[in-house]
Amino acid sequence: MTIAPSSSDKPRILDGKRTASALVDEVRETVEREGLTPGLAVVLVGDDPASQVYVRNKGRRAEACGFLSRQYDLPATTTQADLLALIESLNSDPDIHGILVQLPLPAQIDADRVIQAIAPDKDVDGFHYLNVGRLATGTIDAALLPCTPKGALHLIEQVLGADLSGKRAVVIGRSNIVGKPMASLLLARNATVTVIHSRTPSPAEICRQADIVVAAVGVPGLVTGDWIKPGAVVIDVGINRVEGEDGKGKLVGDVDFDAVAPLASAITPVPGGVGPMTIAMLMHNTLQAARRRSAPSS
């Protein structure tokens, strides 16, 4: 049961960094205990600075987990045919259990075709249609799940447990990467789910009914205090760069943290909330893929 905070209560700040670190420790311990060497291949096309940082961080985490970590840096002029040839070779490489192609890709490459070329059992981003279909139909145990929604659900479960029966959840945003899979995961945990998007009338009124709010639209400060029911668990997936009062850029979420935090029973900060969970879940997916591959056939 979620108890609405009184004026003296403070919301629980869901520390994604600490939770992600604990998850990575669990992955590393499992690798050591089971004698596995999961292999993760990360492909970067071009020299986008943000993508370079993301790829470097993923590689470091993989190495910290005891994985075989390979990074493929390709020039921005790489053709689609060459990228598909690399993916085909990684699909057949027995040392590689997870393949991730960092997005965005240059304009000459069809990102969807590239993603669908990855073997579903190595699709650690969870974007292949087979994994998407498994999630949507509730066949979760056979799927590799998208990392960001999976991380967000883990934070929700820390507060409310794994069974969300009787809870009303609102997901703000209907993207294929976060919004839709997030709704499917919440449904699988028995929550009653509503998805709010740009064509939804009276979104604040709908959101105020929710015990769980997941915001993932990329609009700074969209969710204000009058959107939130006291005692709700608020998960902010948004990462937006805005100009601060000092003229310097800063990261903020889709939730007006200062206005919403006093109402919430638990809330994620930005940065430091869902973001670190995404890489941790990538490591978990890679371990999961390796374990499935090494399991004896029945």
Binding residues: 173-175, 239
Tens digit of each residue's pLDDT, the chain (298 residues): 333 444 346 889 999 999 999 999 999 999 999 999 999 999 999 998 889 999 999 999 999 999 999 999 999 999 999 999 999 999 999 999 999 999 999 999 999 999 999 999 999 999 999 999 999 999 999 999 999 999 999 999 999 999 999 999 999 999 999 999 999 999 999 999 999 999 999 999 999 999 999 999 999 999 999 999 999 999 999 999 998 777 788 999 999 999 999 999 999 999 999 999 999 999 999 999 999 998 876 4
Coil, strand, or helix at residue 165?
Answer: coil
Q: Which of 121, 123, 125, 256 is catalytic?
A: 125
158 counts as catalytic:
no
Cα–Cα distance measured from residue 18 to residue 2, given in angstroms and rounded to the nearest whole number: 23
Q: What's the number of CA atoms in the CB half-sphere (13 Å) around residue 142?
A: 10
Cα–Cα distance measured from residue 135 to residue 132, given in angstroms and rounded to the nearest whole number: 5
Q: What's the number of CA atoms in the CB half-sphere (13 Å) around residue 231?
A: 11
Q: Which of 58, 122, 150, 229 is catalytic?
A: 58
125 counts as catalytic:
yes
Cα–Cα distance measured from residue 204 to residue 215, given in angstroms and rounded to the nearest whole number: 12
**Under 8 Å between Cβ of 236 and 273:** yes
Closest CA to 157 of 3, 14, 7: 14
Predicted pLDDT of residue 3:
37
Phi, psi of 39 (to 5 degrees): -110, 125
Closest CA to 78 of 55, 104, 44: 44
236 counts as catalytic:
no
Q: Which helix (H) or strand (E) element contains residue 182?
A: helix 179-188
Binding residues for NADP(+): 173-175, 239
Predicted pLDDT of residue 249:
87
**Under 8 Å between Cβ of 262 and 5:** yes
Q: What's the number of CA atoms in the CB half-sphere (13 Å) around residue 167?
A: 27
Predicted pLDDT of residue 7:
39
- Which domains does the chain possess? 35-120 (3.40.50.10860), 146-274 (3.40.50.720)
Predicted pLDDT of residue 245:
77
**Under 8 Å between Cβ of 154 and 281:** yes
**Under 8 Å between Cβ of 14 and 158:** yes
